[in-house]
Amino acid sequence: MFGWFVKGATSRVRTTRYPAHDETAPGVTPGRPVETTCDNELLAIGLAATCPTGAIKPAAFKTTADISRCVHCMACTRGENTMSWQADYRWAKWVGDNARRAARHRPFRKSLHIRVVDTGSCDAVLSEIKQLVKPYYNMHRLGFFITPTPRHADVLMVAGPVTSQMRLALLKTYAAMPEPKWVMAVGNCAISGCVFAPSFIANGSVAGVIPLDVQVPGCPPPPLAILHGLLLLTGREAEMPPVDQPLGGTP
Amino acid sequence: MTILPALFFLAMIALCVTGATLSACVAQHRIGPLLAVTGPLASLMILACATCVLITRQPMQIDLWHLPLLGLLRLRLDSVSALFVLALGISFLPAYLFSKSYMNRYPAHYNIRGFGIFFHLLLMACTLVLAAGDVVTFLFTWRLMSALATFPITLEHRQDEHRRAGYIFLAMNEAGIILATVGLLLMTAWAAGHIGFAALHQAMEHIPDGWRWAIFLIIFAGFSVKAGLVPVSSWLPRAHPVAPANMSAVLSGCMLNFGIYGIIRFDAIIMAPITAGPGLVVLAIGGLSALLGILYATTDNDLKRMLAHSSIENLGIVAVDVGAGMVFDAYHMPTIAAIAWVVAIYQMINHSAYKTLLFLGAGAIDHGTGTRDMNRLGGLLKRMPVTAVLFLVGALAISAMPPFNGFVSEWLTLQTILRSTELASRFSRVVFALCGASLALTAALSVTCFVKTFAMSFLGLPRSDTVRTAMESPPSMRLAMGILAVGCIALGLGATWMVPLVDRAMTPLTHQLAANALVPPFFTLQHGNAQFSRGFLTSFGKIGADVGSAVIPARSLVVLHQGQAANPVVYAMSTFYIAAVLIGIMLIVYLLVRLTTRRRVVRVGEPWAGGLRRLWPDMSYSATGFSNPVRVIFKSIFSPAQREDSQVAVAGHFRTAIRKPPRDTYIVDRLFLLPLVAGVKLLAGLMARLHRPAVVNAYAAWVFIVLLFVLVMNRLF
Amino acid sequence: MTKFPSSELRNFAEQCQSFGPVEMLPQSDSLVAVVNCPSEVLKSLAEFLVHSLQYNFGSLVVEAPPNQWKLIYLFYGRENPSLVQLWVYLKSDHPRVDSISDKIHSADWHERQAEDLFGLVFTGHPRLGDFVLHEEWPEGVNPMCTGFSATHPVKEQVVDPAWRPARILETPGAFLMPIGPVYADYYESAQFFLETVGEDVVRMIPRFFFKYRGVEKLAEGQPWQRVLLMAERFSGTSAIAHSTALCAALEQIYQIQPPPRALGLRLILAEIERIRHHFAVLSDICHASGMSVPSAQMDILEEQALRLSGQCAGHRYLYGWVTLGGLNRDMTLTALDTIARETQLLAKASATIHSALQFTSSFLDRFEGVGAISAAGARELALVGPIARASGVRTDLRLMLPYGPYAQDTGFLAMTEPLEQEGDGYARIRVLFAEIQQSVKLIDATVAALPTGPVRVEAGGVRGQSAFGWAEAPNGAAFHYVRLDAQGCVQRYQIATPSFANWHGFHIAAENFAFQDFPIMMASFGLSIAESDR
C-alpha cells in the first residue's frame, strides 16, 4: 500500500486548467462544424446534402451548422467543398424560457450535486461523464459532485434518447429531487434523439418528458463541454463565447 | 386485620368457582365477556390479599384438615408467596380483560365453554399452589394447576401441532412433578414424616452433604422444567405459540414463576445454602438459559415463539440472580445475597409485566392480521397505532432500556455479578465471570431481538394482504395492554419505592434488609445517613441527586449499588432522573425542530427506490434477513450439519426454484430431549424383551426377584 | 461437397444426412456451411453441432413473413474456423418452433428475444416473456414484425397492479434487494434483483433492455449509410468493432474487398479501441475495490488513449472512420508515428501498474476466487471475449474466424493469446492486462508494415442479398446480419453482441456471494449494457 501512496504522491498533476485557462491539449474535443461561406447557393445546398443528420442548413452564400444535430461523422469535411471546423468545446447552452432561467439562476453559484440518469445512451457519453471525476478533469475542484441519490441532487444529468422503458424511472428520479432543480441534457441523443429518432420506442428528447434547462450537444460531448454546461448553470461561464482562434486544424 | 387477606382469598375462590359455573351455563359467545368480568374481579381479590400480607407482614394462614398418617394440611401465604401472588395478579388481570374480544376469533366448533371453565379455575389453582403450607397441599395443587393448564393450551385441538404441543407440555411437566415429588418425599423422610414447611426447614439443617446435594439436584431438576430452564425447556417454544394469547400470556407471565418459586422455597428457604455448589449450578444453568434463549429468540420469526424463547432468557436471568444469592449467602455475604434475591424477584415481577404485555400484543396482532409470522407482517404502526405504542413500551422494557422496569433489574443483576470479585473462591469467580459475559451478550442480543420484532411488525411496508387491511384492536384489548404498559413504566420509575417493598417481603429468605444498600435514605434524612461520609453526600448532592427528592418525598430517587469499605466504588442510577432528562431532551429537540422548520414546506413523496415501478413488500428487509448475521455468527449452535439447497430446474439449467432447508432442530431437543427419548426407547426395547407372553416362567422369576429385593430392603432399613 | 477444405465441416456435411431431410444449400463456401433444416431436425442437429462438434451458438436471426418465417441459427466453431447456418422455414400462419435452449443453454436469451420481438413461440422454453419488452409494453404487439411502424410511438398499456418481477428463491424470509434501474453514480441503466435471506446473496436476477432503442427495427428501410451511423453509436465504446462487422457483411453483399492499407488501419483503430476499453474496465475494477491510486493511474492512461484517438483520428471514440469498402479517410504518417509511439508508452505504464497490483494483497483478496466461472460453464453458456479467455476457453474471433486484417496474421495472435484457467476476477484482470500488451504489439507491427495505397474501393451494385459479418469487439465476438434490397437499403439487420452473450452468463458467477462483492463482480465483468440492449 505504501508503494501506491508514493506512486500517487509522485504522479504529476494532470488536471486541466479550464475554466481559468483554455485547454489546448490535442484530442480533448472532436470540434464542431461552424458557419461557412459558400460561393453560391447551389454549393451551399450541395454541402448541406453531405450531412446525414441534417445538421447543416443551406442559406444564401453560406451554410449554418446546428451542433445539436451533428454526430461528428465529418462527412462535411471530406468533399471538395468543406465546412469550417472549429475545435472548441464551449458549446453548452441554455434552453427553456428565460423567466424559468432567471428564477432558477440564483440558488446555486458554487457547488452542485449531480445525479446522472442513463436513458438509453451509448457507453461513450457515460464514459465522458465519468472522465469528469477522473484526474484529467477532476470537477470536484470546482465544487461539482456526483451523488447516487436524487434526494441530494441539484442537477439531473440525462443521457440518451429517453427510451420508453426508462421514462418512468426518469420521471421518478426527477420527482425525487428537491426544489430547486435543474435538468441538463448531455449528448445529442438526449437533445434530439440523434440517430435513434424518430422511433417507436424512444421519446427522442428529454425536453419532451421533463423541463429542460441546459443542453450540452455532442456525440458524445467531450468532458470539457459538459464542464462548460455545469459552469453555465452556476453562472461561472458565459454561453457560447465568440469564436476565437482555432485550437487545431481540421483533422 | 389478619382476617382481611383470608376474606379476599375466599372471595377469589368464590369468584373463580362462580365464573367456572357460569361458564358452564351461559352461551358460547358470552364466555369472553364473562371472563372479562369475573376474572379481573378475582384477580383484584388476590392482589388485595397479597397487598394486605405485604403491608401487614402477617402471613395469611388457614388450617384445612388434619389427615391421619400425613398430618395437618394448611394454607399459609407468607410474604414471599405474596410477592409471587402479586406477579400472578399482574399477569392474570389483563389476560382476563383481554379475553373479552379475543375469544370471538375461535369458531364455534372449538370448545370455548371448556376454556372458560378451566381458565377460571386456573387462577384459583395457581393461588393455591402459592398458598400451600405443606408438602402434600403443595404437590396436590401443583398437579391440579398443570392439569388445568393443559386444556387451554390445546384449545385448537383439531390441529396436529397443537395436540402434540399439549402432549409435550403435559409429559414434561409430569416428569418435573415426579422429580419434585421424589425430592420432597426425601425431604419429608429426613423430617421424620413432618410435612409442614417450617418442620422441613428445621430438619434440613442437619442433613448430610451427599443427601443435600441429591435432594437439591432432584428438586432443582423438577422445578426447572416449570421455569423453562435449559435443558428442559423444550416444551416452552412449542406450547406458547399454540395456546391462545391470553393463555400464553399467563403461561409465560406467571406460570414460569412457579419454577422459580419452587427453587426459592425449597432450595433456598427450606434448605438454606451452606456450600456454594448448588448456587453455582443454578447460576450456570441460568446463564446458559439466558444466552440460548435470546439466541433463539433473535432468530425466530414467529412472534409468540420468539416471546417464548425470550421467556427462557428472562427466567434464566432470574435463575442467575437466585443462584448468585445462594452463592453469596454460602460465602457469608448476606447483604449482597439479599440484593441478589431482591433483584431476582424484581426481575421476575418485571418479566411478568412486560412479557404479559408482549404476549397480549402478539395476540392483538394475530387477532388483527391473522398471522404471527414477522416475515408477513410490517407497516402495522399506521394501522394499529395504539397497539404499536403499547407494544413498543413492552419491547423497550424487555430490552432493558431506561427508564423502563427491565433496565432496573438488568442493571442491578449485572452490578450484583460484578460484586463476585469479592468472593474468596477462584472457581466461583470464574463461573461468575463467564455468567456475566453471557448476560452481557444476552443484554445486547435482546436489544437486537426486539428492534427486529418491533421494526418488522410495525414499521416498513405490509408484507402480506391480510396485514394491509388490519384493524386496530378493540378497546378491551387496548385497556388490558394499557394497564400493563402503565405497570412497566411505574415499575421502572418507582423502582425506589418497589425495592424496599420487595426487600421487606423477602426477609424469610434474606433475614436482613438490603434496602439500605440499594436505595439508602440519605437524601431524605436531614443530617445524612450514618453510613456515608458527609463529603460523599455533598458530592452526590452537587451532581443534583437531591433535587428530585426535594420535590418528591421518596425514600430516595437513586438506586445505588454501594461497595464496601475496602472497595468503595459506588454505582448509582436513577430511572426517575433518566426519564426527566430524556423528556427534557426530547422536548428541546422537538422545539428546536419546530423552530427551525417552521417555515419549511414539507413535500411528501414516495420513497426513492432507484426508479423502480413500485417497491414491492418483499423488497424490504425481512425478519429472517435482519437476524441472519446472528445466525451466521452462531452457526455452530443453530445447525452443526451442512445442508444443501434443493434446486428445481428445467432441462438442467433453467432454475425455476431454489429452496432452502427448513428450520434446524432446537439445540435442546437435539442435544438433550431426542437422545433422552432415544435412550428411553432403547431401554423400553430391552425391557420389552422380557414380555414374552409364552414364557410364564420368566414372569414368575421376575416377580420372585422383585419380592426378594423388597424383603432385603425392608430388612436393611 | 468438395467445397469444404475443413475436414470437420466436410464430416458435418456428410453426417447431416443421417439426421433427416437436411439439404446443403449452394450459398455454402469454404468457411460457411448453409443448411436447409426442417424444424423437426433442428434440435438434434443443433445438439450435434454444439455437443459433438464443439460449435458455439452465435445468433438467432429471424426473418418475418410476408411469405414465410425464416429462422437462421448461426453456429461458429471453437476448434475449427467455420460457420454453420441452419435455415429453418416456418409457415407464416404457424409461428411455432421447438426450443433448442433446453439442450443448448446459450440459445436461451436469443429465443426469449425473438419471442418478445416477433411473437414467435418456442415450445418447451420454460421462461418466456418480460425480456426485451417490459410490463408497460402492450400485450401482443411485436415490434419487429412487418407492418409495425418503426417511427410511430406505441401507446403503452396500463400495467396490471398484480404484476411483479419473478422470484425463484423459495424460503421463508427470503427477500429481494432491488438495484436500479437508476443506481450508483454514473452506471448504465439496468435492474438487478439480488435474492437473499440476509447477508449472503443466493441468486441474482437481472432485468435488461431498459435502454432498448430498437436499433434493428430503426434500421429497416434505411440506406446502409444511415445504419452505419447507428452501428457506430449504439455502443459508443466499441464503435470500430461494430462498424467493421457491419461493413464486413456489406462488403460480402457488394462483393468487394477493402484495400490492404484500409485493412491495416482498421486493425490499428480496433486495437486502440480495445486498449482504451480495457483501461476503462481496469480503472473500474480498481475503483470497485477501493484502490483509488491505481484507479486514478488507469484513468490517466484511459484519458491519454482518448486524447491519442482525438489527436490522431479526430474523434475520441473513433467515430466516422469505417465505411463500406474501406475507410472514410486516410491517416497521416505523423499520426501513425504518434500512435505507435504513444501506445508503446501506454503499454509500458500499464505493465508497471500491473506488476505493482500483483503485489498488493488487499487488492488481490477482493478478486481471487470471486465470481469464478469454470471452463465448462463458459463453454455451456458460449461466453466470449476476455471473460471466456479467463476461464481457459478460446473464443477470439480474430483467431477462430480470421477476418479482414487478421486473415494475414501469421501466428502472432495464437502465440500471444492470453489464456487463464481459474476463471475468477483476478484471472480476468490478468487477461485484460495481457490483451493490452498484445494489442500494442499488434499496432506496432502493423504500423511498421502498413502498405501504401488507397483506403477505399468504390462499391458497385448490390450483388448478394444477405450476409453475416463479424468482429472481435473489446468485449468479445460480435455478429452482424444484414439483408439489403437492390437499392442498398437495409431490409433486415440483426446484431448479436458479446455483452448480450456474457450478461447471460453473469448469473453463474453471481451466485451465493456476499453482497459487498457485487460491485466487484460487475466491475470484473466490465460489460456494456448499451451493447447488450441495443
Indicate the residue type of B181: T
A8 domain residue, yes or no: no
- Length of chain C (residues): 534
Nearest by CB to residue B608, choosing from A117, A149, A170, is A149
> In a 3-state reduction of DSSP, which class is residue B338?
helix
Nearest by CB to residue A166, choosing from C181, C226, C306, is C181
- What's the mean pLDDT in A19-27? 84
Q: What is the 3-state secondary structure (H, E, C) of B11-75?
A: HHHHHHHHHHHHHHHCCHHHHHHHHHHHHHHHHHHHHHHHHHHHHHCCCEEEEEEEECCCEEEEE
Record: contact C212-A53, CB cut-off 8 A: no
Characterize the bridge pairing of strands C326-327 and C511-514.
Answer: unpaired
Record: contact C307-A134, CB cut-off 8 A: no
Q: Across chain A, where does the E strand assignment appear?
A: 32-34, 36-37, 56-59, 62-65, 84-86, 93-94, 112-118, 144-146, 155-159, 182-186, 214-216
Q: What is the pLDDT of residues B57-93, one digit of tens each?
A: 888 888 877 877 777 888 888 888 999 999 999 999 9
Record: contact C308-A27, CB cut-off 8 A: yes
Question: Cell for C93?
Answer: 400462419
Considering only CA atoms, give the Rg of chain A.
19
> In a 3-state reduction of DSSP, which class is residue B541?
helix
Whether residues A107 and A64 fall in one domain: no
**Alpha helix (H) ranges present in C17-145?**
39-47, 108-118
Whether residues A98 and A53 fall in one domain: no
Nearest by CB to residue A169, choosing from C181, C225, C320, is C181
Percentage of chain C lying above the pLDDT 90 cut: 11
Which domain does A159 fall in, by range?
93-233
Indicate the residue type of A114: I
Whether residues A225 and A103 fall in one domain: yes
> In a 3-state reduction of DSSP, which class is residue C428?
helix
Question: Cell for B385?
Answer: 397505532
Record: contact A134-C302, CB cut-off 8 A: yes
Whether residues A100 and A82 fall in one domain: no
pLDDT at C279: 92
Q: Is the pLDDT of residue C354 over 60?
A: yes
Sequence-separated (6 or more) residues with CB below 8 Å from residue C76: C55, C56, C58, C82, C83, C84, C397, C400, C401, C470, C477, C479
Q: Select from C316, C323, C362, C363 the residue whose CB has the most chain A CBs within 10 Å, as the one to mutate to test that interface.
A: C316
We report the CATH number of the domain holding residue C113 as 3.30.460.80
pLDDT at B284: 93
A178 domain residue, yes or no: yes
pLDDT at A179: 78
H or E element that contains C500 = helix C498-509
Closest to B481 (Cα-Cα) out of B97, B102, B116: B97
pLDDT at C519: 85
Q: Is the pLDDT of residue A184 over 80?
A: yes
Q: What is the pLDDT of residues B147-174, one digit of tens each?
A: 888 888 888 878 888 888 888 898 899 9
Nearest chain B residue to C100 by CA distance is B651
Closest to B279 (Cα-Cα) out of B223, B336, B216, B206: B216
> What does the mean pLDDT of chain B come to?
85
A15 domain residue, yes or no: no
Q: What is the pLDDT of residues B390-430, one digit of tens each?
A: 999 999 999 998 889 999 889 889 888 888 888 888 899 99
Q: How far apart are CA B283 and CA B318, in angstroms?
A: 9
> In a 3-state reduction of DSSP, which class is residue C176?
strand
Q: Across C99-196, where does the E strand assignment appear?
A: 121-123, 169-170, 175-179, 191-196
Nearest chain C residue to B633 by CA distance is C199
**C435 within 8 A of C274, measured Cβ to Cβ:** yes
Select from C123, C156, C189 the last residue of a domain: C123
- What's the mean pLDDT in C236-265? 89
pLDDT at A246: 43
Closest to C74 (Cα-Cα) out of C454, C486, C479: C479
Q: How far apart are CA C31 and CA C77, in angstroms?
A: 10
| Residue that has been written with the C-alpha cell 470500430 in this structure | C240
We report the CATH number of the domain holding residue A190 as 3.40.50.12280
Record: contact A136-C188, CB cut-off 8 A: no
Q: How far apart are CA B171 and CA B590, in angstroms?
A: 55
**B549 within 8 A of B523, measured Cβ to Cβ:** yes
Domain count, chain A: 2
| Residue that has been written with the C-alpha cell 446480419 in this structure | C481
H or E element that contains C511 = strand C511-514
A12 domain residue, yes or no: no
Closest to B12 (Cα-Cα) out of B37, B45, B49: B45
Q: How far apart are CA B373 and CA C394, in angstroms?
A: 52
Residues of B near A (Cβ–Cβ under 8 Å) read 603, 605-606, 608, 610-613
Q: What is the pLDDT of residues B175-189, one digit of tens each?
A: 999 999 999 888 888
Whether residues A160 and A63 fall in one domain: no
Q: Is the pLDDT of residue C183 over 70?
A: yes
User: If pLDDT is split at 50, 70 and 90, which confidence band does C1 have?
Assistant: very low
Whether residues A78 and A97 fall in one domain: no
Record: contact A178-B611, CB cut-off 8 A: no
Q: Is A243 on the interface with B (CB under 8 A)?
A: no
State the nearest Cα–Cα gap between C495 and chain A, in angstroms: 15
Q: Is the pLDDT of residue C83 over 70?
A: yes
Whether residues A183 and A79 fall in one domain: no
Torsions phi, psi of B303, nearest 5?
-50, -50
User: How many CB pairs below 8 Å do chains A and C form together?
Assistant: 220
Indicate the residue type of B85: V
Q: Is the pLDDT of residue A98 over 80?
A: no
Record: contact C211-A121, CB cut-off 8 A: yes
Q: What is the pLDDT of residues A99-139, one digit of tens each?
A: 566 555 566 778 889 999 999 888 889 999 999 998 889 89
A241 domain residue, yes or no: no
A70 vs B290, higher pLDDT: B290
Nearest by CB to residue C299, choosing from A116, A134, A166, is A134
We report the CATH number of the domain holding residue C371 as 1.10.645.10
Whether residues A103 and A43 fall in one domain: no
Q: What is the 3-state secondary structure (H, E, C) of B229-283?
A: CCCCCCCHHHHHHHCCHHHHHHHHHHHHHHHHHHHHHHHHHHCCCCCHHHHHHHH
Q: For A53-60, which contacts have Cβ atoms below 8 Å and span 24 or more sequence positions?
A: A53/A194, A53/A195, A53/C229, A56/A83
Q: Is the pLDDT of residue C178 over 90?
A: no
pLDDT at C37: 81
Q: How far apart are CA B662 and CA B638, in angstroms?
A: 12
Nearest chain B residue to C135 by CA distance is B613
Nearest by CB to residue A146, choosing from C185, C230, C319, is C185
**C479 within 8 A of C245, measured Cβ to Cβ:** yes
State the nearest Cα–Cα gap between A10 and chain C, in angstroms: 11
Percentage of chain B lying above the pLDDT 90 cut: 29
Record: contact B611-A151, CB cut-off 8 A: no
Record: contact B622-C191, CB cut-off 8 A: no
Question: Cell for C192?
Answer: 438487478
User: If pLDDT is split at 50, 70 and 90, which confidence band does B655 have?
Assistant: confident
Other C-beta atoms lying within 10 Å of the C-beta of residue A97:
10
> What does the mean pLDDT of chain C come to?
85
Closest to C314 (Cα-Cα) out of C297, C294, C299, C329: C329
Torsion of CA B450, B455, B458, B462, to 10 degrees: -140
- Lay out the sheet containing C169-170: strands in order across: B646-650, B654-659, C169-170
Nearest by CB to residue A168, choosing from B603, B606, B611, is B611
pLDDT at C18: 74
Record: contact C202-B618, CB cut-off 8 A: no
C230 domain residue, yes or no: yes
Select from C123, C155, C177 the last residue of a domain: C123
Domain count, chain C: 2
Q: What would the DSSP string read from start to end of B114-143?
A: HHHHHHHHHHHHHHHHHHB-BHHHHHHHHH
State the nearest Cα–Cα gap between C390 and chain A, in angstroms: 24
Nearest chain C residue to B625 by CA distance is C198
User: If pLDDT is split at 50, 70 and 90, which confidence band does B645 have?
Assistant: low
State the nearest Cα–Cα gap between B613 and chain A, in angstroms: 7
**B610 within 8 A of C182, measured Cβ to Cβ:** yes
C187 domain residue, yes or no: no
- B7-16, B531-540, B655-664, C87-96: which range is least confident on average? B531-540
Q: Select from B608, B612, B614, B615 the residue whose CB has the most chain A CBs within 10 Å, as the one to mutate to test that interface.
A: B608
User: If pLDDT is split at 50, 70 and 90, which confidence band does C6 have?
Assistant: low
- What's the mean pLDDT in B269-277? 84
> What does the mean pLDDT of chain A come to?
82
C152 domain residue, yes or no: no
**A211 within 8 A of A183, measured Cβ to Cβ:** yes
pLDDT at B535: 65
Q: Which residues 81-120 of A are in CB contact (within 8 Å) with B?
A: 117
Q: What is the pLDDT of residues B479-526, one digit of tens each?
A: 999 999 999 999 988 888 888 888 888 887 877 777 777 776 655 555
Select from C79, C98, C123 the last residue of a domain: C123
A246 domain residue, yes or no: no
C486 domain residue, yes or no: yes
State the nearest Cα–Cα gap between B295 and chain C, in angstroms: 17
Which domain does C59 fall in, by range?
7-123
Q: Is the pLDDT of residue B536 over 70?
A: no
pLDDT at C458: 84
Nearest by CB to residue B611, choosing from A151, A172, A178, is A172
C194 domain residue, yes or no: no
Whether residues A180 and A229 fall in one domain: yes
Nearest chain B residue to C101 by CA distance is B651
**C416 within 8 A of C405, measured Cβ to Cβ:** no
pLDDT at B440: 93
Whether residues A117 and A214 fall in one domain: yes
Q: How far apart are CA C34 and CA C44, in angstroms?
A: 16
**A3 within 8 A of C355, measured Cβ to Cβ:** no
Whether residues A102 and A171 fall in one domain: yes
Q: How far apart are CA B353 and CA B100, in angstroms?
A: 20
H or E element that contains C346 = helix C333-357
Record: contact C167-B618, CB cut-off 8 A: yes
ipTM tops the 0.90 cut: no
Q: Select from A115, A152, A156, A172 the residue whose CB has the most chain B CBs within 10 Å, as the one to mutate to test that interface.
A: A172
Q: Which residues 110-129 of C are in CB contact (within 8 Å) with B?
A: 126-127
- Burial class (CB within 10 angstroms; exposed 0-12, middle 13-18, buried 19+) of B66: exposed
Whether residues A108 and A65 fall in one domain: no
Record: contact B605-A170, CB cut-off 8 A: no
> In a 3-state reduction of DSSP, which class is residue B387?
helix
C242 domain residue, yes or no: yes
- What's the mean pLDDT in B646-671? 73
